[in-house]
Each structure stands twice: as C-alpha cells, then as structure tokens.
C-alpha cells in the first residue's frame, strides 16, 4: 500500500539530479576541450616536422 500524506524527499531528489547532471555536463565539456587541445598540438607538431624535412 502507498503511504498517505506528503511526498517524501522529492525536492531533495530533484536538486540532486540537477547537480549530478551539471557535473556530468561539466566533465563532458572538459573532455571535449582536452581532445581539441591535443588535436591542435599534434597538428602543430606534424606541421613543424614537415617543415624540417
């Protein structure tokens, strides 16, 4: 049987979900920026290598 009265913990759960999604999005963005930086560094190194040859 379901409980009667006020719903338990719904505000807290919503807040937690919001914070966790914010954290996940932040980590995803950081991962993408790292990949882009690495690609730029690799590209620059390859260009310098070609110039030396």
Instruction: State the DSSP code for 26.
Output: H
Q: For residue range 7-46, what is the model confidence (pLDDT) as tens digits?
A: 777 778 889 999 999 999 999 999 999 999 999 999 999 9
Q: Residues 16-46, buried b or exposed e (16+ Cβ, 10 A)?
A: eeeeeeeeeeeeeeeeeeeeeeeeeeeeeee
Report pLDDT for 6.
75
């Amino acid at each position: 049987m379901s409980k009667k009265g006020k719903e338990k913990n719904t505000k807290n759960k919503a807040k937690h979900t919001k914070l966790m999604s914010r954290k996940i999005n932040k980590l995803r963005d950081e991962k993408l920026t790292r990949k882009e930086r690495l690609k730029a560094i690799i590209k620059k190194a390859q260009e310098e290598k070609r110039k030396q040859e």
